[in-house]
Structure 1
Amino acid sequence: MTITASGDLTMYTLNALKKAALAAAMGLALAGQASMAAAEEWKFALEEISGSVQDAYAQKFKALIEEKSAGKISVTVYPYGALGESEDLTELVANGVLQFTHGSTGILGSTAPGMQVFSVPYLLSQDNQVNLKLLTESPTIYGPVADKLKARNLRLLSMYPEGEMVWSTNKEIRQPADFANVKMRVMASPMLVETYKSFGAVPTPLPYSEVYGGLQLKMIDGQENPIFAIEEMKFYEVNDVLTWSGHQQFTVAVLSSESWYQGLPAEQRQMIDETVAELAPYIFETQASYNKERLQKIQQAKPGIKLVHLTEQEQAAFREASQPLRDKLVDLAGPEAGAVLKALEAEIAALEQQ
């Protein structure tokens, strides 16, 4: 090409610079896309639907991990039903298909008998600050109980309560005798079945997804869950009475694949551990606010619903009725579970005195 004037030279130079700048910009964009495409994906499946306490935990986990990894790791959250029932999720994590899930203690009890203790009524403290320390720091939980889960390639990262268990029924339950002939839905846990037998009810195992229909068709008469779950699953629509008995909190475990976790670089393991530690106080506060807000929603949707809070004397009758369950725990889950129960009761007593 022949350049005949300084103006032509200037124009040529500007065009060349523009082309170079455009090429550089395109290169950066392609590099950015390649970086995004190469982001490592971690999958986190829930036992509950979007908007639940478990979802709040997973979404906060996702935000923290993605921030700490500067976008190098993306976390995909799968709500209840997307990948199966609770038993399916723990199996998928154990097989390394998923990286994280929540696990109900009743389901985990078949692998770690010590997990069955969380089905024993009136075990946890009425003070959630005590429960916070217990469920995140207990040498019993993160020692022998966690070791049992490792045998199934499950790593116990944390535990937390999702709220006090509340009975939803069509009649008032103020004493064990009131449970006569009442079919109460329970998870498929031998200890939960025995618990409701001790209370005088007729325990009826049923998958979570079938509870609403079961109540509607009178296959069951009642169920237990934290208030947030009763609201989001609309159980209050087909039951007229909500009862706070103080007998239990719904306690859930946060799980990962042990082999997958151990195979991570040290900095990623540390990032997970730090994130889980940060989430402990957050989720305790979040579940309390969720349950308070959801109760208000229930009362707005169904102003006539009856709220019953058992007195200490009324609770005492259920405490007494459930005492034989401590021996039943040993019969069903073995002496190992009995030892875990005694150890946790001692830890709780010590924490309450601090």
Structure 2
Amino acid sequence: MTYKTLTAASLVALILGSGGALADTWRYAFEEAMDEVQGKFAQKFKEEVEANSDHEIQLFPFGTLGESADIMEQAQSGILQFVDQSPGFTGALIPEAQVFFVPYLLPADQDQLVKFFRESKTIHELFPPLYADQGLQLLTMFPEGEVMMTTTSAVQAPADLDEVKFRVMTNPLLVSSYQSFGATPTPLPWGEVYGALQTGIIQGQENPAFFIESTKMYEVTDYITRTGHNNFTTAVMANLDFYEGLSDEDKKVVQDAIAAAFDYIIDYQTGLTEESLKKIMEAKPSMTITTLSEEQRRPFIDTAPAVEEEFLKIGGPKAQEILDQMKADLAAVSGD
């Protein structure tokens, strides 16, 4: 996968290209393609905003403005009004957001998961001030799908990951998580992953099934393993100064569009994982897809407390409060 980095000249062209409509044109960048989950969310958001206001939304999928670090920088500086980015990349800015990478913390049950994202005090009350400290207005977080490992050799136990160079996002806790799994975590920008797998620089990576299928990661790996350790989480944010400068009417337009897009994307994901795995098998019948049993998962699950302890060390000053509240939120949705 290739990408075009935004140069100073092209940035000026982008801004000037909006002409007199600059005040009514909002720019929104995300980390996936138009036909992937973040792209579908963004298109629904655009549809809702444009149907209920005079504003236009310009969408910038992965690669058009650079890598994840680039679009975050542009959102913080106000070049972009909206950005969708996983806590996996914002962890350096907001260390508490790394809580989403403690393995086996989020529920596997889809109804409980969605209820958590809708009702979580952690997301709706504790995280917004932390994002605001970085010049960002947190608008929503949503799940994108069960995270699966794709590797060049079979994985049924942590021992099978020994000496496996496993690509992870540039997130310290995700590095710790895969170290505890027994792998050699290797942080890489997404644009380098396919080539690194193809040439053997790395031997594995993790993502939801739809992303493995759409990016053709199955072409350069032979095994997909469902360990049940996580669900990919992403966050939609606005530049804080931009958002605070909106009229109450425009803030409501944004909030209503976010709510509509959230409902849409949850419905869109129904059956998406199994449909994506089916497409992978049709494209590459030799692919092996394994769902680990509870007994096989136990050694992976047993690593979670150590990763949790690491989160409390590196997760920022609010780490304990975030973790405690998140566990309370999860207990509430599970009925425990």
Q: Same fold (TM over 0.5)?
A: yes
Q: Which residue of 2 aligns with 1:300?
A: 282
Choose the corresponding residue for 1:138, options 120, 125, 128.
120
Q: Which runs of 4+ in 1 moved over 6 A?
A: none
Distance 1:200 1:68, change over 3 A: same
Asked if the contact 1:183/1:220 (under 8 Å) is kept, the reply is yes
Determine whether 1:64 maps to 2:21: no
Instruction: For 2:29 and 2:317, locate their aligned partners in 1 and report how far apart those are by CA, in whole Å.
Output: 33
Write the letter of the residue equivalent to 2:99.
Answer: V
Write the letter of the residue equivalent to 1:207.
Answer: P
Q: CA deviation at 1:131?
A: 2.0
Query: Which digits, 9 at most, give the CA deviation of each residue in 1:49-106, with x for residues without a partner?
Result: 221110000011111111111xx11111111010111111122111111111111102
Q: CA deviation at 1:313?
A: 1.3
Q: Which residue of 2 aligns with 1:337?
A: 319
Q: CA deviation at 1:47?
A: 0.6
Q: Which residue of 2 aligns with 1:21?
A: none
Q: CA deviation at 1:38?
A: 8.0
Tell me the matched-pair count.
Answer: 317
Write the letter of the residue equivalent to 1:91.
Answer: E
Asked if the contact 1:116/1:337 (under 8 Å) is kept, the reply is no
Q: Which residue of 1 aligns with 2:172?
A: 190
Q: CA deviation at 1:210?
A: 0.5
Q: Which residue of 1 aligns with 2:132?
A: 150
Write the letter of the residue equivalent to 2:329.
Answer: E
Choose the corresponding residue for 1:225, options 198, 201, 207.
207
Write the letter of the residue equivalent to 1:237.
Answer: E
Q: Secondary structure at the match of 1:64?
A: helix
Q: Which residue of 2 aligns with 1:203?
A: 185
Q: CA deviation at 1:335?
A: 4.9
Q: Secondary structure at the match of 1:246?
A: coil
Write the letter of the residue equivalent to 2:325.
Answer: A
Query: Which digits, 9 at most, give the CA deviation of each residue in 1:296-349, with x for residues without a partner?
Result: 221111011101001111112101023211111112224521321121011101
Determine whether 1:178 maps to 2:178: no
Choose the corresponding residue for 2:142, options 156, 160, 170.
160
Q: Which residue of 2 aligns with 1:247?
A: 229
Distance 1:38 1:79, change over 3 A: closer
Distance 1:112 1:37, change over 3 A: closer
Q: Which residue of 2 aligns with 1:49?
A: 33
Asked if the contact 1:199/1:322 (under 8 Å) is kept, the reply is no
Instruction: For 1:206 and 1:270, locate their aligned partners in 2 and report how far apart those are by CA, in whole Å.
Output: 38
Unaligned residue ranges in structure 1 (runs of 5+): 1-35
Write the letter of the residue equivalent to 2:109.
Answer: D
Asked if the contact 1:163/1:288 (under 8 Å) is kept, the reply is no
Q: Which residue of 2 aligns with 1:88?
A: 70
Asked if the contact 2:44/2:264 (under 8 Å) is kept, the reply is no
CA RMSD of aligned residues (A): 1.6
Choose the corresponding residue for 1:311, options 282, 293, 314.
293
Asked if the contact 2:42/2:261 (under 8 Å) is kept, the reply is no
Q: Which residue of 2 aligns with 1:283?
A: 265
Choose the corresponding residue for 2:82, options 100, 114, 119.
100
Instruction: For 2:328 and 2:21, locate their aligned partners in 1 and report how far apart those are by CA, in whole Å.
Output: 51
Q: Which residue of 2 aligns with 1:348?
A: 330
Q: Which residue of 2 aligns with 1:26?
A: none
Write the letter of the residue equivalent to 2:212.
Answer: I
Instruction: For 1:318 and 1:285, locate their aligned partners in 2 and report how far apart those are by CA, in whole Å.
Output: 30
Unaligned residue ranges in structure 2 (runs of 5+): 1-19
Q: CA deviation at 1:142?
A: 2.2
Identity of aligned residues (%): 40
User: What is the TM-score when the length of structure 1 is the normalising length?
Assistant: 0.86
Asked if the contact 1:68/1:271 (under 8 Å) is kept, the reply is yes
User: What is the TM-score when the length of structure 2 is the normalising length?
Assistant: 0.90
Distance 1:234 1:266, change over 3 A: same
Write the letter of the residue equivalent to 2:255.
Answer: D
Q: CA deviation at 1:148?
A: 1.0
Write the letter of the residue equivalent to 2:50.
Answer: E
Distance 1:37 1:187, change over 3 A: closer
Instruction: For 1:227 and 1:37, locate their aligned partners in 2 and report how far apart those are by CA, in whole Å.
Output: 39
Q: Which has the larger radius of gyration?
A: 1
Task: Report which stretch shifted further, 330-339 or 196-205.
Answer: 330-339
